[in-house]
Structure 1
Amino acid sequence: MGGLRELAAPFVAVGPSGVAVRDRLKHLTEQDETVLRLVGDHLGTVASRDLKARCAVGLDHDAEGWAARKRAVTGVSSSRWAGSITKATHDQWALARRGQLAHIQQLEAGVRMIAHRLSLPVGEKGSKHAPGGYASGREWHAKARRLHVLTDRLQAVRADWEAGVVRVVRGGKRLLNTRHHLKAARLTEEQWRTRWQAERRFLQADGESGKRFGNETIRVTPDGEISLRLPAPLVHLANAPHGRYVLASRVRFAHRGEQRADRIHTNRAVAYRIHEDTTRGRWYLTASWTNPVVQTVPLAAVRAGGVVGVDTNADHLAAWRLDTHGNPLGAPRRFGYDLTGSAAHRDAQVRHALIRLLHWASRHHLALAVEDLDFTRETTREKHGRRKRFRKLVSGMPVARLRARLVSMAAALGIPVVAVDPAYTSRWGTQHWQQPLTSTNRKTTRHDAAAVAIGRRALGHPVRRRTAPPPHDRSDRAGHRTVQAPPGDLGREGPRPRVPGPRTRSVRAGRGAKAGDQDTQHRSGRPAEHESWQQDSLPLSL
């Protein structure tokens, strides 16, 4: 047991800090689409130039430089568009820096693991915690070359990090690389160009509290009318006063529409983004806003009604309901999903599985207990050696997507989520719960047993089941009957409750002279006599 790491305490997960809803822009005229494309292309060009200027400054950026960039952008657009463009540029640069740091950590993990395996003799077997040496001299030589490649790459990325150099592509690097593989992507050059231009457009505006309907740049009225402020070079296209253009389409936001209506009626900030889906030939409007900080529910209150332990797997969620004492109730549940196919299909499968799980927990008014999984660190393939099946299993688990979706969807339904340390849940759950919960009518899997272990850890109980009863003698020298009773619970060392009915022929139950005196009954931790007593040492002559 000395090799086990210390477990982190469970905590209640914090809900999402923002909300985003989307609605389709229907019944747009040809003039509307033309104006949107012209405005988006113009502002996209301005945003690209501003991003180039920001990346050239690097770590020397300051408030004066930001103000200078904003003045330059204002001259070719407007003050409000300039504020949105410069803020989006700053956020994109910061995101690139975080991705650069994550890339450095991944390269360091790969270099460290390959160097470790190269230092071991060829053919040496590994353990559960660390892989062994490489299987053959040929593989050892190939990995030695791979180590030099990763080391050079790591030095280059570190140099960029220290100099503040980032490489950002407006429109996305993936779509840019698709240009060289049009046949594999089943796209023509014209289709790719249309998608590329749509991704590089800039039609988004941050909200402003205190302004009319929460946004002066892209304004959406309570009845769904959409109007946007045209930049200075395109103000001649306006069809409304003050250089504004009103679209023929109306929106209503069926999802969270009441929340958005409450915000715009009180003139609180709402950000909007207009974008075109070139594949479907549709236009969409996305509204987003931030939620106020909400005090999380205390952990003791969450545990009061029991929890649902959830074990995350590559193709399903295993769940089991537990009461406040950590005892499994009913039968286990399984919520499956299929992660093959397109990204939209995979996301729909995850959402469908989560909504069924949340509705089941909501019917019983229970909280959810999940593992605080994080597979983003040390995802190098060298960590698991030749265990290809296990590598595929780990990489196929949608950990980040499940975690983000679960927390946000649970917050919308008012269901608390308790995150626990994932260490040893599968191993201890299988050891202590799989066999006792298996019967002739029910086969308990190790995933179901892991769900029980997760739920017990969230409730503050140890994973192990009750201990075996003590021997049938007067002294409880094998310990107490349960490991669930805290030391301060009444009844652990107190008098036993009176049992109705006779216990012996001479004295009735609970009527003895010393029925409540634990000191005279050889209870563990209790002296048999009231005065101190010490055994004499045995004489050496015997």
Structure 2
Amino acid sequence: MDVPRELSSSFALLAPPGVATRTRLKGLSAGDEEVLRLVGAHLGSLASSDLKRRCGDGLEHSADTWAQRKRVLAEQSSSRRAGSITEATHDQWTLSRRVQLAHIQGLEAGVRTIAHRLSLLVGEKVTKRAPGGYRTQREWFAKTRRLHLLEGRLAAERTDREAGRVRVVQGGKRLARNRQHLEQAQLTEDVWRQRWEAARWFLRAGGESGKRFGNETIRGTPDGEVSIKLLVPFAHLADSGRDRYVLTGTVAFRHRDEKWADRVSADRAVACRIRLDTGRGRWYLTASWTIPPARTVPLAQARTGGLVGVGADTDHLAAWCLDEYGNPVGEPRRFSHDLSGSAAHRDAQVRHALIRLLHWAVRHRLAIAIENLDFQTETTRERHVRRKRFHRLISGMPVSRLRARLASMAAELGITVVAVDPAYTPRWCAQRWQKPLTAEARKTSRHDAAAVAIGRLALGHRIRRRTAPPPAHQSDGQGHRTAQASYGGRGREGTHPRIPGPRTRSASPAPRAKAGDQHARHCSGHATEHGSWCQDLLPLSL
């Protein structure tokens, strides 16, 4: 018999340490675009060479090697540009190490799954906790070969990680592979070349506090003017003083515009990045800056008054309000989204669903509870071999991005997000809450019931409902004889108000002392003990 593991404690998600906003650079002339292309291509070549040297250093990287790389870049550009390039290179190498570790963990999960299934008899049935054996001897033999292949890949990846070796493609590995499959990617060679060159450009600069408008290299003013500090090889193209080139187009941020204007007016650090979207032929400017860490609200305070339980699915977010006792209040809500299409479309759909959810939570002035989902070990190829539909289902759910975006957007509105352990939630919510919450006028889905279960876990309650005890006796030791206590219900002790009017067709009963009057009860030491009392005579007919 499987023993359920102990659930981990709920916790409040932390807000991100920085924010970013993006806008389009409109009204650029042909000369502006030519200057941006020249500067981006020159700095991109320097960034590619620096990334190559950083990958060659491996684990032997130190502050001295970093300073040496920066001096080499400063001779070909400037000190500020060299600092931005080396910092971006270090971030990219660190990201590659994290991706490498995730790939190793996926290979390990695949090796464990195949080894377990090979140890079983052919045709052995699957259990709740582990997959069964392979169906045929032919499939068993094919998986033995795949096991040797995965073990070889795993050994190579472990060797690279121990040596500090990573493989990074400046511009993206997917775009590089599309060069060999242009027809399949529906691209021409010229279009692919434009995308490849634009992806390898480097047009970014870190912010500097105390400098004019918070950035000396790529500067944006509150009036919308954008200027770039040109390098020595392109100084003859400057149209302003101190080797600066002012773009003819202006910018206006539609999101966080007031915060951006306050920072640049106070000369606080603002990092800027310029990017070209070759598909649309548009230039974009992204401004980012760090924010002070948000004050973490204690769980006891976040649970005051209840919260909103949210269950994530592939096409919608199911939400239900719960009071502080864990009882669902009102009707469930659904916030639909479409995860088909391009990555930009899916990201926009997730943002749209989240902002509707957050506005609904703001109206109720409640915190939000969500599962701390992570399908890293569940999306491996060998985990669900025959359940291809389920594998596509969990692989298409952007749980990590959804959780990160929810925490970021909730911090802007001052809403606390509580993460709970997702173990056993789908099974227990169907057993405990789906049927009781279903009525003739309301069909409760499994995801709606999961929202109630998630909210109860975040409130510190158990998922299961309070069920009526077996009718062995009617004493108070039996416990509550109701399935769920209503909010604001009266207790068992105390004065109950008298309902006016006759309750039946018979005459109304004579008035008597209320149960709450202690003088009318036969208690020791009260006036009722000293009153006169006489037993009536028995009737003669008995």
Q: How does 1:94-243 map to 2 (within 5 A)?
A: 94-243=94-243
Which residue matches 2:272?
272
1:253-264 maps to which residues of 2 (within 5 A)? Answer: 253-264=253-264
Deviates more, 1:106-115 or 1:412-421: 412-421
1:414 and 1:342 map into 2 onto residues whose CA distance is 31
Change beyond 3 A, Cα 1:469–1:148? closer
Supply the distance in 2 between the matched residues of 1:397 and 1:350 (Cα, whole angstroms).
Answer: 10
Alignment correspondent of 1:47: 47
From the superposition, tell whether residues 323 and 226 of structure 1 become closer, same or farther in structure 2 (CA, over 3 Å). Answer: same
Asked whether the equivalents of residues 114 and 382 of structure 1 are also in contact (C-alpha less than 8 Å), the reply is: yes
Greater mean deviation of Cα atoms: 151-160 or 465-474? 465-474
In the TM superposition, what is the alpha-carbon distance from 1:349 to its structure 2 partner?
2.0
Structure 1 counterpart of 2:302? 302
The alpha-carbon deviation at position 232 of structure 1 amounts to 2.1
Q: Partner residue of 1:467?
A: 467
- The equivalent residue for 2:90 is 90
Partner of 1:529: none
Q: Residue 498 in 1 paired to residue 504 in 2?
A: no
Q: Which residue in the other structure is 1:510 paired with?
A: 516
Give 1:236 shift. Answer: 2.1
Q: Normalization by structure 2: what TM-score?
A: 0.89
- 1:418 to 2:412 alignment: no
Task: Check 1:495–1:367 CA distance in 2 against 1; reply closer, same or farther (3 A cut).
Answer: closer
SS in 2 for 1:21: strand
**In 2, Cα distance between equivalents of 1:161 and 1:471:** 64
**What letter matches 2:360 in structure 1?**
W
Over the matched positions of the two proteins, sequence identity in percent amounts to 65
Structure 1 residue runs without a partner (length 5+): 486-490, 518-542
CA distance in 1, matches of 2:79, 2:439: 71
CA distance in 2, matches of 1:470, 1:498: 28
SS at match of 1:384: coil
Distance across 2 between alignment mates of 1:78 and 1:360: 50
Match runs of 1:393-408 below 5 Å: 393-408=393-408
Aligned length: 512
TM-score normalised by structure 1 residue count: 0.89
Query: How far did 1:85 drift?
Result: 0.6
Q: Secondary structure in 2 aligned to 1:249?
A: strand
SS at match of 2:476: coil
Contact residue 213 and residue 268 of structure 1 kept, 8 A: yes
Aligned to 2:17: 17
Residue 49 of structure 1, CA deviation: 0.9
Q: 1:506 to 1:356 in 2, by over 3 A?
A: closer
**How big is the shift at 1:469?**
5.7
What is the match of residue 34 of structure 2? 34
CA distance in 2, matches of 1:441, 1:495: 32
Q: In structure 2, how many angstroms separate the alpha carbons of the residues matched to 1:326 and 1:50?
A: 56
**What is the one-letter code of the residue matched to 2:425?**
T
Q: Deviations over 1:400-437 (max 9, x none)?
A: 22212222222222222111111122222111111111
Q: Would the alpha carbon gap of residues 483 and 372 (structure 1) be closer, same or farther in structure 2, given more than 3 Å must change? A: farther
**CA shift for structure 1 position 223:** 1.3
Deviation at residue 5 of structure 1 after TM alignment? 0.7
Instruction: From the superposition, tell whether residues 483 and 164 of structure 1 become closer, same or farther in structure 2 (CA, over 3 Å).
Output: farther
CA pair 407-499 structure 1, distance change in 2 beyond 3 A: same
Structure 2, gaps ≥5 residues long: 499-507, 524-542
1 CA distance for matches of 2:100 and 2:425?
Answer: 33
Match of 2:57 in 1: 57
| Equivalence for 2:365 | 365
State the alpha-carbon separation in 2 of the partners of residues 305 and 512 from structure 1. Answer: 35
User: Which residue type is aligned with residue 203 of structure 1?
Assistant: L
Q: Out of 338-347 and 287-296, give the one that drifted further.
A: 338-347
- What is the distance in 2 between the residues matched to 1:478 and 1:432? 22
Partner residue of 2:315? 315
* CA apart distance, 1:341: 1.9
Q: Which moved more, 1:242-251 or 1:59-68?
A: 242-251
Contact 2:420 2:454 in 1 (8 A): yes
Going from structure 1 to structure 2, the CA distance change for 1:514 and 1:47 (only over 3 Å counts) comes to: farther
8 Å CA contact 2:307–2:366 kept in 1: the answer is yes
